[in-house]
Chains A and B, each alone.
Chain A
């Protein structure tokens, strides 16, 4: 485990850059990580991040289907918000571990 300064705050990250302590997360950190992924964060992005953080906190499995059923966006929209690898990018920006689900 290593530490990294993001948006002026020192946070714990793993070797892939995922934050390991969700309590260190702030919206400013999210903005900064998103910039590194070429994403300009909107309220919609943040709503997805909050949704993922809730799921993580409740120890529920995080799947692309659950995001599609979240009422925030559909799956197509999710791919548009976080182009390329949506689940991984969204998790990274939301400050939660890389999702361990295959779906």
Chain B
């Protein structure tokens, strides 16, 4: 039997969390799709909206409590209690950002611009905007629209399309 290959034509990504790693996972997947010539749309909802909020977008943090995969430099375990000390979260987050910068991974705002430059589309969730009392003016300028989930789905149709939730 011949296995038929159907390359991806469209990728729709939903980002619902606002930690550095969750947002970057979405951004890397979105940018990667754009770079492959795949039509790309990202929908930010709930805490993921921090990635689009001018005030917070370049100051995202990584959670330092309750993450068993988090380790000290050198590989020793990172005790959850240590993560509760003021300043630790900021320090760890700054370190994550500097490590990413070394790999030429840009800050969130620049990453979104790269995605847009390649034709990717960025959307914010209307429900979450209402919930967090956010206005359009609070958001980064490149946001293409504030949509209900139904309106987002309308843009996710077509064969060889995948919706990815992070």
Q: Which residues of A are at the interface with B, using a C-beta cutoff of 8 A?
A: 61, 63-66, 68, 74-76, 79, 83-88, 101-103
Contact = CB atoms under 8 A, between A and B. Distances in A.
A57 to B, nearest CB: 18
A101 to B, nearest CB: 8
Pairs of residues from A and B, 10 with the lowest C-beta to C-beta distance, nearest first? A84-B37, A75-B117, A76-B117, A85-B37, A63-B104, A79-B118, A85-B36, A65-B104, A75-B114, A103-B105
Interface residues of B, number: 16
10 contacts: A64-B35, A68-B114, A74-B117, A76-B118, A83-B37, A86-B118, A87-B35, A101-B104, A103-B31, A103-B103
Interface of B: 28, 31-32, 35-37, 103-106, 110, 113-114, 117-119
Contact of B118 (A66, A75, A88): A75
Contacts of A83: 37
Contact of B32 (A61, A66, A74, A102): A102
A102 B28 contact: yes
A85 B106 contact: no
A61 B37 contact: no
A67 to B, nearest CB: 10
Given A85-B36, A86-B35, A103 B104 contact: yes
Contacts of B36: 85, 88
Given A74-B117, A102-B28, A103-B28, A66 B104 contact: yes
